[in-house]
Structure 1
Amino acid sequence: MNIIILGAGQVGSSLAELLVTDDNDITLVDLDNSHLQRLQDRLDIRTVHGHASHPDILIQAGLETADLLIAATQNDETNICACQIAHILQKSVTKIARVRGTSYLDHPELFDKSLNDNAIPIDVLISPEGLVTNYIMQLINYPGSLQVIDFADGRVRLVAMRAHNGGPLVGKKIAELKHHLPSRLRFRIVAIYRQDEVVMPTGDVTIRVGDEVFFMAEPHDISQIVEEFRREKQKRARNIMIAGGGHIGFNLAKQLENSHQVKIIEHNITRAREIAEVLDRAIIINGDVADKDLLIEENIDEIDLFIAVTNQDEANIISSMLAKKLGVKRVIALVNNQSYLDLIHLNSIDIAISADRITTNNLLHYMRKGDTVKAFTLRRGTAEAMEVIVHGSENSSKIIGKRLIDVDWPQDITIGCIIRDNKVMLAHRDLVIEAEDHVILFLTDRSRTQQISELFSPEQKRGWLR
């Protein structure tokens, strides 16, 4: 696929790095020539130095033959303008734009053709702040989870969690788990990571303390399954403190304030007053999120969950570590710098999330070959979960009409479930694949995505399907 990425920031660079290994032709456009040169020295990509919304730069980047344009600069107006110009110059290109400003997002008629015939021609609109807010809300809804990802429009979820000493299922073989759980609970373990080494989840594998377990289940079963991996029942967070009153912190408080006791610490007095006027029940505190005395004064020892979402990585890391030291059981920190993310896994912060990585993941399936509905990288980019639609017939497909056990799957892959007619069917060896099934799978080796594409696409349609 021929892909143009506008903006070589965290999102643009991450996308280029992810996609360059998937047999794509990547062109990256940015104003910072030295940054482009560093990326080109490291990645097999083409770069164009210039303003992302200028017509001559878009043409130089190869717009005429592009399949996909991703406008991911730091400037909303540049992204919107670039998509508008690209539509005029090359109508068939699929256009994705990152837009942050609530002034735009609060007016869907600007982008939705069903509401406005003259809508701005953007095919997919991505809001990083909204994506991060939804991601954190999932972690709050399932206490103890490390990661929660929706598939099939929320009919099934992939959950990652840590197995704790004393948990009822710790020390049991996977094949024995069904004997230790209520019969109504349905789930499938798709991967286990043990000290950063992957363990394929065969029936003979025993779950050990410290294992990071990935499982798939329907939403109504997840909470109880999560509890079975813990040594004690995890209470839902009642008292929540949010560090940072920006878009993410404000939106979290707005969703949580009616069901939780919420406090927000915001250092900017003007912003603190603005959100205080809108929020009904949340308590707004003007101060430094890393001020130990302030945290103690605000009864940090009574807080169940501390969420650091300021626009500074350092403030988020320091305040989270301080909150943990002062007795908070669970902390979540927003951290975008990749070097910081790698270090954080060695300290006391429970969950570190990256807005850029979450944004990248929500764009990834548009770049996957075959009819991929969703793709999400996991384990800091080493693994991937995918939802792929099976097309074709028994005559044109390598997998339709076959039992899962009879398909020649690539190594390092686990089939989680199949969605058929809105029904979730957890994978088992005798389950037969049918046309138009949605198959959700887990790859411990992301280099297998090309093989997956070839398996799922019918012979006459091999390649990228829009």
Structure 2
Amino acid sequence: MSRILILGAGRVGSSVAEQLVQEKYDVTIVDSNPALLKPLADRLDLRTIVGEAGSPLTLREAGAADCDLMLAVTPSDEVNMVACKIAHELFNVPTRLGRIRQSDYLQQPQLFSEANFAIDHVITPAQIVTDYLVSLIETPEALQVLDFGAGRALMVAVRIQTGAPMDGKAISDLQQALGSAECRVVSIYRKNQRIRPNGDSVLHVGDEVFIVAAQRYIRKVIREFSAGEKPIRRVTIAGGGNVGFRLAHAIQGDYQVKLVECDRRRAQWLAEALPATLVLHGEATNEDLLETEQIERCDLFLALTSDDEDNIMSSLLAKQMGAGKTIAIINRSSYVDLLQGGRIDVALSPAQATIGSLLAHVRRGDIVAVHSLRRGAAEAIELIIHGTQDTSRVIGRRIEEIKLPSGVDLAAIIRGDAVIMAHHDTVLESNDHLILFIDNKTHIREVEKLFSVKLGFF
């Protein structure tokens, strides 16, 4: 798959375009606003088309007849649906992904069938971000929580804290502490430089560590890397938009939730839609409001408005006034790098959280999941290997016999219900799900080729 057509040059569309251009895909991006296209054309090797995404003439000019995949991520659900239908009927585009936000459409999945709007895969960024936030709330020590094998295995990113059991210890000491609970330390980042771990690698306060373990062991594993986080009970959410509403709805049964919304009519609607959530009308940057609501008793403050500056300021203010942990949605990637791990504990880019679900459909081979790591600099993927020893380059071979590209590590294997940590003498079998950590994304194509089935298989 090499020719990609993207409809919509907003945050998601532009982020995906940048990612795919870096991986040498042939990308065309369409938007009705030339101001959104110009900066992309100036810095990326791609083709831009000014026009309406739902127009057959625009799609023809953009090369829809020759593209392998179309991604419709304009702000309008209706435009995305119509564009996918036109792409299917007039241009026979093989794979069509559409962003759909309205819940009333999502509750009618038959609308997306080939006979109707012909959307192969529906993408709902707000729900993806919500699920991501729920995983962070459930695992408060983690910077990222990634799901593999339908939840059988997890990869977590944690920052070594002062007083953590593993502070100042070598990785070889870890297994003795864990007993029968196996895990794999996949990568260590120290001052933004990757250290490829081995048994002699010593961990220090501030190190960002990526670990893979079976889901049932993950709590025990995380305790070795943290100083003991206070459990989260009280949650305050700033912003009652799509993400804020979905998150409050998802967690209000398990936590004490307050939601702050500046728009009065929206606040009234939220109060009716969220009976177990205390909805407050006001600005989350208002110090008096935060003081009145005893923000110092809040275990987790999440700034989820559509305004980066408001999210930054409200998070900093909440932290200064005594809130436990802070998470802020930040749309500008340069802000994310600047703020992550400082006074704001987790700075989350919605586009980066969403991009993995899109890339899984672009990658060659049987890719189950793609997760963007470290603000897009690295990636974790889950893929399934097929074939026999004759038709596969890896099946029937020990891991030590497989020459992985530079910057790529095979972290774990999911075989049926079993999660197997990858060791040098582990032999790979057909239908294994492999969890790979890829630090150097220029080698993505090499990874795809290595784990694909030879043509003779077909």
Per-residue displacement from partner, 1:361-411 (whole Å, max 9, x unpaired)? 211111112222211221111111111121222112221111001111112
- Hey, what's the Cα distance between the residues in 2 that align with 1:133 and 1:458? 36
Letter in 1 for 2:70: L
Q: What is the CA distance between 1:263 and its match in structure 2?
A: 0.7
Q: What is the CA distance between 1:304 and its match in structure 2?
A: 0.4
RMSD between superposed Cα atoms in Å: 1.7
- Hey, what's the Cα distance between the residues in 1 that align with 2:110 and 2:199? 52
Match of 2:184 among 179, 185, 188: 188
Match of 1:225 among 207, 221, 224: 221
Match of 1:48 in 2: 49
Please state if 1:147 is matched with 2:108: no
Per-residue displacement from partner, 1:391-434 (whole Å, max 9, x unpaired)? 22211222111100111111222211111223211111110011
- Hey, what's the Cα distance between the residues in 2 that align with 1:206 and 1:61? 52
Q: What is the CA distance between 1:34 and its match in structure 2?
A: 4.1
Please state if 1:311 is matched with 2:311: no
Task: Tell me the SS of whatever aligns to 1:365.
Answer: helix
Tell whether the 8 Å contact from 1:238 to 1:304 is kept in structure 2 after alignment.
yes
Displaced runs of 4 or more, over 3 A: none
Match of 2:14 in 1: 13
Letter in 2 for 1:408: K
Q: What is the CA distance between 1:106 and its match in structure 2?
A: 2.9
In the alignment of these two chains, the number of paired residues is: 457
Task: Tell me the SS of whatever aligns to 2:37.
Answer: helix
Q: What is the CA distance between 1:222 and its match in structure 2?
A: 1.2
Residues 279, 37 of structure 1: CA spacing in aligned structure 2 closer, same or farther, 3 A cutoff? closer
Q: How does 1:57-456 map to 2 (within 5 A)?
A: 57-111=58-112, 113=113, 118-181=115-178, 183-231=179-227, 233-345=228-340, 347-456=342-451
Letter in 1 for 2:111: L
- Hey, what's the Cα distance between the residues in 2 that align with 1:413 and 1:61? 35
Tell whether the 8 Å contact from 2:357 to 2:370 is kept in structure 1 after alignment.
yes
Task: Tell me the SS of whatever aligns to 2:409.
Answer: strand
Tell whether the 8 Å contact from 1:144 to 1:226 is kept in structure 2 after alignment.
yes
Q: What is the CA distance between 1:150 and its match in structure 2?
A: 0.7
Q: What is the CA distance between 1:346 and its match in structure 2?
A: 6.8
Please state if 1:3 is matched with 2:4: yes
Q: What is the CA distance between 1:53 and its match in structure 2?
A: 1.0
Per-residue displacement from partner, 1:110-144 (whole Å, max 9, x unpaired)? 22x4xxx8442100101111111100000011111
Residues 461, 299 of structure 1: CA spacing in aligned structure 2 closer, same or farther, 3 A cutoff? farther
Query: Which is worse superposed, 255-264 or 188-197?
Result: 255-264
Task: Tell me the SS of whatever aligns to 2:431.
Answer: coil
Query: Which is worse superposed, 409-418 or 285-294?
Result: 409-418
Per-residue displacement from partner, 1:122-181 (whole Å, max 9, x unpaired)? 001011111111000000111110000111111111100011111111111112211122
Letter in 1 for 2:16: L
- Hey, what's the Cα distance between the residues in 2 that align with 1:263 and 1:320? 15
Q: What is the CA distance between 1:89 and its match in structure 2?
A: 0.9
Task: Tell me the SS of whatever aligns to 1:310.
Answer: coil
Please report the TM-score for the alignment, with normalisation by the length of structure 2.
Answer: 0.96
Letter in 1 for 2:175: K
Percent of aligned pairs with the same residue?
42
Tell whether the 8 Å contact from 2:64 to 2:93 is kept in structure 1 after alignment.
no
Letter in 1 for 2:198: T
Tell whether the 8 Å contact from 2:8 to 2:53 is kept in structure 1 after alignment.
yes
Letter in 2 for 1:128: P
Please report the TM-score for the alignment, with normalisation by the length of structure 1.
Answer: 0.95
Tell whether the 8 Å contact from 2:330 to 2:349 is kept in structure 1 after alignment.
yes
Tell whether the 8 Å contact from 2:23 to 2:441 is kept in structure 1 after alignment.
no
- Hey, what's the Cα distance between the residues in 2 that align with 1:88 and 1:437? 37
Q: What is the CA distance between 1:312 and its match in structure 2?
A: 1.3
- Hey, what's the Cα distance between the residues in 2 that align with 1:214 and 1:292? 37
Q: What is the CA distance between 1:92 and its match in structure 2?
A: 4.6
Tell whether the 8 Å contact from 1:169 to 1:180 is kept in structure 2 after alignment.
no
Task: Tell me the SS of whatever aligns to 1:435.
Answer: coil
Task: Tell me the SS of whatever aligns to 2:362.
Answer: coil
Q: What is the CA distance between 1:191 and its match in structure 2?
A: 0.5
Q: What is the CA distance between 1:262 and its match in structure 2?
A: 0.9
Q: What is the CA distance between 1:74 and its match in structure 2?
A: 1.5
- Hey, what's the Cα distance between the residues in 2 that align with 1:419 and 1:411? 23
Query: Which is worse superposed, 130-139 or 37-46?
Result: 37-46
Tell whether the 8 Å contact from 1:141 to 1:236 is kept in structure 2 after alignment.
no
Task: Tell me the SS of whatever aligns to 1:380.
Answer: helix
- Hey, what's the Cα distance between the residues in 2 that align with 1:338 and 1:448? 23
Match of 2:23 in 1: 22
Structure 1 spans left out of the alignment, 5+ residues: none
- Hey, what's the Cα distance between the residues in 2 that align with 1:159 and 1:180? 18
Task: Tell me the SS of whatever aligns to 2:53.
Answer: coil
Tell whether the 8 Å contact from 1:84 to 1:120 is kept in structure 2 after alignment.
yes
Letter in 1 for 2:89: I
Per-residue displacement from partner, 1:271-315 (whole Å, max 9, x unpaired)? 111111122221111111100111000000100000111121111
Tell whether the 8 Å contact from 1:3 to 1:66 is kept in structure 2 after alignment.
yes
Structure 2 spans left out of the alignment, 5+ residues: none
Q: What is the CA distance between 1:335 and its match in structure 2?
A: 1.1
Q: What is the CA distance between 1:189 and its match in structure 2?
A: 0.8
Match of 1:35 in 2: 36
Letter in 2 for 1:383: A
Tell whether the 8 Å contact from 1:389 to 1:438 is kept in structure 2 after alignment.
yes
- Hey, what's the Cα distance between the residues in 1 that align with 2:306 and 2:9? 19
- Hey, what's the Cα distance between the residues in 1 that align with 2:43 and 2:275? 50
- Hey, what's the Cα distance between the residues in 1 that align with 2:191 and 2:456? 41
